[in-house]
Structure 1
Amino acid sequence: MTDAPDASPSPTGHGHGGGGGGKPIFLDATGRRARRLRWAAIAVAAVAAVVLASFVASLVILPRLTHLAVVSPAYSGHVKHGGRHAGNALLHRIALDDRRNRAKPVSAAGTIAGAWFAPWEDGALDSFRHHAADLTHVYPTWLELSPDGSGVLTKDYDPAKNPTTAPLVQAARANGVRIVPVVGNATEGLFDPHRIDRMLDGPNGEAVMNQLVGFVDQHDFAGLQIDFEQLTPEQIRRVVPWLSRLHQRLSAQGKELSIALEVSLSDADIRSLAATVDYAAVMAYDEHGETSVPGPISSAGFVDRSLDRFTRLVPANKLILGVGVYGYDWKVGTEAADSITNTAALTTAQGYRPEEAPAEVIDFDPVALQPTFSYRDDAGRMHEVWFQDAASVANAMTMAQGRGLRGASLWALGEEDPTSWKVFGKHAVPAPQADAAMRTVTLAQAIAFTGEGELLTVTHEPRAGQRTLERDPSSGLITDESWSAWPSAWTIRRRGAPDHVLALTFDDGPDPEWTPKILDILKAKRVKATFFMIGDEAVGHPDLVRRVQAEGHEIGNHSFTHPNMAHVGDERVRLELTAADRALESLTGRQITLFRPPYNADSEPDSYGEIAPIAVASRLGYSTAGESIDPNDWDLTRSTPGGGTHRLRPQEIVASVLAQADKGHAILLHDAGGDRSATVAALPAIIDGLRARGYALTTIGGLVGQTPEQTMPTLPKDEQSLIAADQAAFGFTHLLGVILFWGFSLAIGLGLCRIVLMLGLASGKRARPLPAAGSALPRLDVMVAAYNEVEVINRTIDSLLTSRDVDVRVLVIDDGSTDGTYEAVKAAFGQDPRVLLRRKPNGGKASALNVALAEATAPVVVGVDADTQLSPDALAKLAAWFADPRVGAVAGNVKVGNRRNIVTRWQALEYITSQNVDRRALARLNAVTVVPGAIGGWRTEVLRAVGGYRSDTLAEDMDLTWRVREAGWVIANEPEALAFTEAPDTLGGLLKQRFRWSFGTLQCLWKHRRSVGKHGWFGALALPSLWLFQIAGQVLAPLIDLQLLIALVIRLLSWWAAAQHADISASPDTTLWLTVAIYATFTMLELAASWIAYGFDRENRRDLWLLPTQRLVYRQIMYVVVWRALERALTGLGQAWGKLRRTGDVVLEAGNDTAGHLAGRAGLVIQIFPRDRPRDDAPSNPRRPPEEDPC
């Protein structure tokens, strides 16, 4: 090794400046430019703060709305049941039965804890999912004997028609619950005993039996339950043999057969029917029913008498008790009742008697041992309610167990008191613990309604209730129950249901094309309507908002951006409501008290997602409008009977509205959101048709007797001062939304153009080097600048000295290292004449490379980074290009050699899919924009002629490449000259490196700005592309991700300070979905392009799955870097090079899974010779003949 004395970056005899180049581009050493920009930014921020402050105040201060008047009916005349000691005889008898039967064994078949599943019950599936682990059996009412008795109807089972079937089966299987479908002789609750006669006549009986057995076998269910009700003794006599044969066939397959028995059956019928099955369910409920006088559902005496009778007729271990868990609400004076759930009973009680303590409302009847209450409805009618709760279930279980029954089953899932599961099922707890567990009642999963009409208000949200229980020690029965706090479910109060009065409403406007036409029709017909407006649309069309108001119509809030509020969360809902409210108030000067959620405006929401927006609106003081009459005028495509489609016709809208007129009180139409010509054409006929049928038309407020002046009261004086600021701020957000959308479109367009252009060029047959005049390749001097590279420098030199087919000398310039780099190289290569080591004071990479250039004697020099290792034939492949006298430089192919974490793998993905593809493409046009510092070959005389490396930019290799190209030289690309570099392995290191690259690129673009349009494709395409894609594209690129994630951004911003709320305006959902589709298409194209790029480099494509994460995370980092570079360029502040930490992770050895695999894919062999192994100082090999002209 030649160990030269310390060197300085002074000019050499070769005529090039040592690290020169003058003042760094953009530097303002005085700092004046930065100070001016800072003061300008402060001034702009101050003005913006003043403008936004008042808007922020109006946006975050919750609206103080004037609620619509609510008239609560006065309560009077409720009945309090007396006679606390009337049931003593019953308790005594039950106590005796319990002692008599306590020792009776349970059937060997095991205790049954079952529940009936009615598909029509809204909460049935949720109840089963929550409590499947408590059950042994589930009895879904899926099967129905056909009216003609010839077969079995399975429509209630059909998974294609019944969305609860598949989840029920899945949950049952997962919890080991036996599925026993019920087959009945009823349609929608009406039993038809004549179906049994039709079934038993002729061959129908066998056909039905075959179908039933086949159904059970096909679906691997546990058996069947028969529910044939209201049969005559003769019909029972005829059906018993049929049941016996069915039992035999099912038993032969290991299936069970049970039957549900009415308590009204005769003793003989009970015996004969029970004898045909494995067990029977005693339906000890409906003591009083829908068509009877008010009374208990299943009083303790009724249950006791039923069990006493049945256990005398049938062995107890062959019986299970059917336990009702529902209730009935009777209108006093009529024999008509509505079936209600336990939750509905409790919410009705507190909804209609809110001022009374719960202990004064709910009466636990001492004889029936069942809760009851009464109330007066909105129309003044008295109601009496009896219902079952956990105490009723506990008492029923006590009586069943006292008589040794095999088990019990609840009718029906979804109707029960949630605490019933403390005393029922496989995990029921003993009485003392059960009483404590039943004290707290939670109804969180339920939704209940009170009243009727289209105006909805959440009056109660889920809250636990409290009650105390008293238990008779001798019988074990609960004899008293007292409520101290109401349990609350989601409770919605409905109002606005006057007879023959309908509200005409329009959603999604205002729209400049359709809204004026609708207003003209309403004016001509003298009809007032309610317009639920989108805040963003209102801001864009303020004149239409004012016209709607001026013509006496009502205005409601329809959110600011029209999201599906069932899916966005409470914070987003609140922000949407408040923003739209402020926008509409700023245009009307009136408070907005009405709200209709986009997409879900049903008058009976049945899920938390649908009720949550109503709850938020209720907290803010809004009344939510439903829409029971919906002709779906938004859907412009209709199906024809033949399977085709046609465009929506006005007469179809008219017919739909008229057909639904008696189903509700609010008509939903649309005045925006698409082509509304059919709606406009239908509107006159709708108005005329409804009036002809005796309906009056009004606004939503009119349904509760309110005028638009009452539903839209004047703003308080303290809020009127904010109107001007609100108008300015919302105008800005609307403009921002437009810019955001078109910026997104432009960014997508630029990205697509770049993909098509670069892949098109790169896919062509690449140029090959010309054959050399002689057999030997030119001698090479490899220049390595090193500053604190002790961890990696010796491996780099090793890889260079093991290069094949070329004569190499390595020039190592230590740039003032303080970590022993110089000493390490000297110790390892001090005796190797192919290594020249020099040391100089620290002056930067450019100055170090210029020192190496001054020492170079070979016709070709190669720049290699100190952390980079080359494949053995990389230098030979570079050198081959210099046989062409037009070639001034050659770019190699840089690979990430330390792919050990996601940060480095992201960079590897970028190198392959972006940098290397770009060089392949631009090389075809002699427009390569950078010969990488990690591996780049240069004609020595050209390098000196253009002035060597300069330090006025941080991208000295890019600057040098451009100067060589501007001097008229060809710059080639050699993708098979592989260099494995150490990429930053932390986000901090990556940010530091990429800021230097971005700032250096910006410096070069500014320095060489006069070359745009010159020097062939270099100035005509390459430089403009850098301005477009590297600068403008990177500035716009965040808009792609921002537009896609806009809903998330708004929701996150809603958690921040309110000042940031003003900067967001999302597109309507249709635009958002279009954005998603465009973005997805772009991402798929990018993935396809990356697949092709990996093929160019013959890389393993296993890392392509990282592309989505790179888009969402890694590229955001790049956006920040570009913005920082622009800020530094504008301010003129100085920027140092920045030293990256080295780990020495790049090791090229046999079997190395990173570099070795990559090199192997390229057909190369990687070896590292031990340092004490003799090396051939003059390797040579004939070069491969060139295939084509390189340019």
Structure 2
Amino acid sequence: MTHWTTPTELRESQLAVAGATGVTTALLRPPYSAGSDALDDADWSAVVQAGQEGYLTVLTTLDSEDWRRPGVARIVAGSTPVGTGGQVLLMHDSGGDRSQTVAALEQLIPQLKASGFRFATVGEAVSLGDPVRPAAAVEHWQGAALIMALRAGDGILDGISWLLWAAGAISLVRAVAVVVAARRHVRLRRKPWGKAVTEPVSIIVPAYNESAGIEAAVRSLLASDHPVEVIVVDDGSTDGTADLVEALRLPGVRVVRQQNAGKPAALNTGIAAASCNLLVMVDGDTVFEPDAVRMIVQPFANRRVGAVSGNAKVVNRGGLLGRWQHIEYVVGFNLDRRLFDLAECMPTVPGAVGAFRREALLRVGGVSDATLAEDTDLTMALCRDGWRVVYEERAKAWTEAPASLGALWKQRYRWCYGTLQAMWKHRGALSQRGQAGKLGRRGLLYLLMFQVLLPLLAPVVDVFAVYGLVFLDPLRILGLWTAFLLLQALLGLYAFRLDKERPGPLWSLPLQQFVHRQLMYLVVIQSVFTAVAGSRLRWQRMERYGSLRVPAGTPDLTGPAAGTVPPGLELAQSWVEAAHGDVPVPLPSAFRSVPRDAGSRTPGRST
């Protein structure tokens, strides 16, 4: 042992004796020691140091080796002195099963007494004065506290061990559940929802300082193979987002300007300005694939469906952080959405790619700003109103993910805090029936278990794993950790196969468990403490990196081709004219406070 740890160990051992017996002693037998002839230089230095601390070292002259549990006869033989000389006999009263020692003593003591030997303590044998003294009251209470702490530590370790096994079992059950659900979901999605949905769609793009990617986003929406109108709601941008979109002069694209009021208000403005009954909401940093709109609206063939979640994918996958988020989107979010879909308890339609029935939005009062996760809040409100929310994995959109740990922390902190707000806001679903009850007793409990409680306990489990590697059985801990990684890898391979993704990024999965996963745990912990403290988190906008690109095949609607309308857009315009003509569309009462051309800079022209 190091020079500074020896006094500490001696002091703690002395306190344990004082707490258990009420006495102290200066006598010391170093662990793993035998006779004086077994001392080497390092052992002797320890004996000298203990002497300087006030301890008298007592070594042995006869070792029964009962700790080996060789059998009663051999212990008796090893403990019997040769001749009549006195001995200092070493036997053990702990360290496992001591039944052989007890049985040997029952034979040894009568035999040695009959041979003329008597038994004494060390102090009695060599006439030491006061080797054992009453402990001071302070030492006794300190010792009692130490014993309680040690016992509590043992209890905590036992509890953590059970938590480790429980977490492993729950993770295994979840893995099996999501795989079974995903397989069934794939089979169900091979069947059409009903008659093909061909009616036009209004796409709402809330935009605040989205100049880095807004052109790519809008052009990708116009490239859709489904009739669409695009409404860009500029929420008081200061980087010229609205001017940039207007300068493109793309037919079928309207820009509505408003003072900065937040994303929910921008979405409500877009809902009020929309001409179609089916609405798609998309973030300004997201690019749609050409068939995404057509795919995402097909579930509306079922009248029970009020909203549809699309398949959001990470576009900036370069570097470890990008790969880790790509894995998280494919393995975590998308597998869970398949499970939520089958259980009819979808808690979130992501803001990056989601479709809604206008009727459903109006019945719940539009998009609320009561939480920081307006998409989760809105989805839960729809479920509680009786609407079914489904997942359409074929509706793919590409979105930018945070490119730094700081940006990732801010985004996930807002997501997690907002989800907690939404869960608390809609906790009444736990006692409701029908679609609302499915959300409460399935979706909310799932979120509570796997997105709140397990992340809160996970750091404790990880600390225990490190503790086990150092102090317990490292092979068992490594085996459990390897099994956990193997389970994650198999789950990842299956999820990547379902999403038709190359499995290459999965090589970084072990590193993700050490960095990205720990960061997510800390985010959950901070969010929970923030919520418990009653603090109000402000909206934190993610930095844009300009990694989005205009999709190949998008028609060039500027320059020589200006004024050329894509076939899908022409269908949408014809439908709107047939339905409304030149008469302004009456606005629902929930949105009448927002004029359709609010913020128009050019009199007489709707922007």
Q: TM-score range by the shorter chain?
A: 0.7 to 0.9
> Which residue number corresponds to residue 788 of structure 1?
209
In structure 2, how many angstroms separate the alpha carbons of the residues matched to 1:1092 and 1:693? Answer: 77
Matches within 5 A, 1:330-349: none
C-alpha deviation, 1:713, in angstroms:
4.7
> Which residue number corresponds to residue 1123 of structure 1?
525
> Which residue number corresponds to residue 585 of structure 1?
18
Give per-residue Cα distances to partners, 1:781-806, cap 9 Å, x unaligned.
22111112222222222222223x21
**Residues 628 and 667, structure 1, Cα contact 8 Å, conserved in 2:** yes
SS at match of 2:371: coil
Higher relative contact order (CA 8 A, sep 6+): 2
> Which residue number corresponds to residue 504 of structure 2?
1102
**Residues 203 and 228, structure 2, Cα contact 8 Å, conserved in 1:** yes
User: RMSD of aligned C-alpha atoms?
Assistant: 4.1
Distance 1:579 1:1079, change over 3 A: farther
**Residues 995 and 1121, structure 1, Cα contact 8 Å, conserved in 2:** yes
- 1:862 has 2:293 as partner: no
Amino acid at match of 1:759: V
SS at match of 1:813: strand
Select the residue among 1024, 1027, 1034 that pairs with 2:455.
1034
C-alpha deviation, 1:752, in angstroms:
3.2
> Which residue number corresponds to residue 990 of structure 1?
408
Select the residue among 378, 382, 395 that pairs with 1:977.
395
SS at match of 1:837: strand
Select the residue among 94, 110, 134 that pairs with 1:671.
94
**Residues 769 and 883, structure 1, Cα contact 8 Å, conserved in 2:** no
> Which residue number corresponds to residue 472 of structure 2?
1069
> Which residue number corresponds to residue 1177 of structure 1?
566
- 1:818 has 2:238 as partner: yes
Give per-residue Cα distances to partners, 1:626-664, cap 9 Å, x unaligned.
898475757xxxxxxxxxxxxxxx763542673597899
Distance 1:626 1:1139, change over 3 A: farther
Amino acid at match of 2:323: R
C-alpha deviation, 1:844, in angstroms:
1.1
Give per-residue Cα distances to partners, 1:465-511, cap 9 Å, x unaligned.
xxxxxxxxxxxxxxxxxxxxxxxxxxxxxxxxxxxxxxxxxxxxxxx
In structure 1, how many angstroms separate the alpha carbons of the residues matched to 2:312 and 2:36? Answer: 61
C-alpha deviation, 1:604, in angstroms:
5.2
SS at match of 1:1116: helix
- 1:754 has 2:187 as partner: no
Distance 1:836 1:990, change over 3 A: same
Distance 1:599 1:925, change over 3 A: farther
**Residues 427 and 440, structure 2, Cα contact 8 Å, conserved in 1:** no
Distance 1:727 1:629, change over 3 A: closer
Select the residue among 71, 74, 81 that pairs with 1:655.
74
Distance 1:742 1:770, change over 3 A: closer
> Which residue number corresponds to residue 852 of structure 1?
270
TM-score (norm 2): 0.78
In structure 2, how many angstroms separate the alpha carbons of the residues matched to 1:723 and 1:659? Answer: 36
Amino acid at match of 2:21: T
**Residues 1087 and 1107, structure 1, Cα contact 8 Å, conserved in 2:** yes
**Residues 343 and 438, structure 2, Cα contact 8 Å, conserved in 1:** yes
In structure 2, how many angstroms separate the alpha carbons of the residues matched to 1:617 and 1:599? Answer: 14
Distance 1:1001 1:690, change over 3 A: farther
In structure 2, how many angstroms separate the alpha carbons of the residues matched to 1:759 and 1:708? Answer: 74
Give per-residue Cα distances to partners, 1:970-1027, cap 9 Å, x unaligned.
2211122222221112222122111111111111111111111533533332221112
**Residues 496 and 502, structure 2, Cα contact 8 Å, conserved in 1:** yes
Distance 1:833 1:1076, change over 3 A: same
Distance 1:731 1:885, change over 3 A: same
Amino acid at match of 1:820: G
In structure 2, how many angstroms separate the alpha carbons of the residues matched to 1:762 and 1:820? Answer: 43
Matches within 5 A, 1:121-160: none
C-alpha deviation, 1:1169, in angstroms:
5.8
Amino acid at match of 1:797: V
**Residues 815 and 842, structure 1, Cα contact 8 Å, conserved in 2:** yes
**Residues 881 and 890, structure 1, Cα contact 8 Å, conserved in 2:** yes
C-alpha deviation, 1:932, in angstroms:
1.0
> Which residue number corresponds to residue 915 of structure 1?
333
> Which residue number corresponds to residue 218 of structure 1?
none
Give per-residue Cα distances to partners, 1:145-168, cap 9 Å, x unaligned.
xxxxxxxxxxxxxxxxxxxxxxxx
> Which residue number corresponds to residue 1060 of structure 1?
none
Distance 1:630 1:1123, change over 3 A: farther
Give 1 or 2: higher helix fraction. Answer: 2
Alignment coverage as a number of residue pairs: 556
**Residues 234 and 258, structure 2, Cα contact 8 Å, conserved in 1:** yes
> Which residue number corresponds to residue 1145 of structure 1?
547
**Residues 603 and 628, structure 1, Cα contact 8 Å, conserved in 2:** no
Select the residue among 891, 901, 906 that pairs with 2:309.
891
**Residues 210 and 284, structure 2, Cα contact 8 Å, conserved in 1:** yes
In structure 2, how many angstroms separate the alpha carbons of the residues matched to 1:1168 and 1:603? Answer: 90
SS at match of 1:1045: helix
Amino acid at match of 2:527: A
- 1:1000 has 2:418 as partner: yes
**Residues 790 and 819, structure 1, Cα contact 8 Å, conserved in 2:** yes
**Residues 861 and 937, structure 1, Cα contact 8 Å, conserved in 2:** yes
C-alpha deviation, 1:853, in angstroms:
0.9
Give per-residue Cα distances to partners, 1:895-950, cap 9 Å, x unaligned.
22212232332222222222111111121122222111111111222122221110
Distance 1:815 1:577, change over 3 A: farther
C-alpha deviation, 1:606, in angstroms:
8.7
In structure 2, how many angstroms separate the alpha carbons of the residues matched to 1:597 and 1:891? Answer: 65
In structure 2, how many angstroms separate the alpha carbons of the residues matched to 1:1144 and 1:1123? Answer: 32
C-alpha deviation, 1:864, in angstroms:
1.3
C-alpha deviation, 1:585, in angstroms:
3.2
Give per-residue Cα distances to partners, 1:112-164, cap 9 Å, x unaligned.
xxxxxxxxxxxxxxxxxxxxxxxxxxxxxxxxxxxxxxxxxxxxxxxxxxxxx
TM-score (norm 1): 0.42
Distance 1:580 1:918, change over 3 A: farther
In structure 2, how many angstroms separate the alpha carbons of the residues matched to 1:618 and 1:694? Answer: 34
C-alpha deviation, 1:958, in angstroms:
0.9
Select the residue among 930, 939, 953 that pairs with 2:371.
953
**Residues 296 and 308, structure 2, Cα contact 8 Å, conserved in 1:** yes
In structure 1, how many angstroms separate the alpha carbons of the residues matched to 2:553 and 2:41? Answer: 66
Matches within 5 A, 1:672-711: 672-673=95-96, 675-685=97-107, 705=126, 710=131
**Residues 813 and 839, structure 1, Cα contact 8 Å, conserved in 2:** yes
C-alpha deviation, 1:613, in angstroms:
8.8
C-alpha deviation, 1:578, in angstroms:
5.0
**Residues 890 and 971, structure 1, Cα contact 8 Å, conserved in 2:** yes
Matches within 5 A, 1:87-106: none
**Residues 185 and 342, structure 2, Cα contact 8 Å, conserved in 1:** no
C-alpha deviation, 1:846, in angstroms:
0.8
Distance 1:632 1:911, change over 3 A: farther
**Residues 197 and 298, structure 2, Cα contact 8 Å, conserved in 1:** no
SS at match of 1:1012: helix
Select the residue among 303, 322, 329 that pairs with 1:904.
322
SS at match of 1:979: strand
Amino acid at match of 1:1130: V
**Residues 904 and 985, structure 1, Cα contact 8 Å, conserved in 2:** yes
Distance 1:1018 1:651, change over 3 A: same
C-alpha deviation, 1:616, in angstroms:
8.7
SS at match of 1:895: strand
In structure 1, how many angstroms separate the alpha carbons of the residues matched to 2:305 and 2:424? Answer: 26
In structure 2, how many angstroms separate the alpha carbons of the residues matched to 1:765 and 1:1022? Answer: 17
In structure 2, how many angstroms separate the alpha carbons of the residues matched to 1:875 and 1:670? Answer: 76
Distance 1:1005 1:723, change over 3 A: same
In structure 1, how many angstroms separate the alpha carbons of the residues matched to 2:217 and 2:439? Answer: 33
Matches within 5 A, 1:447-466: none
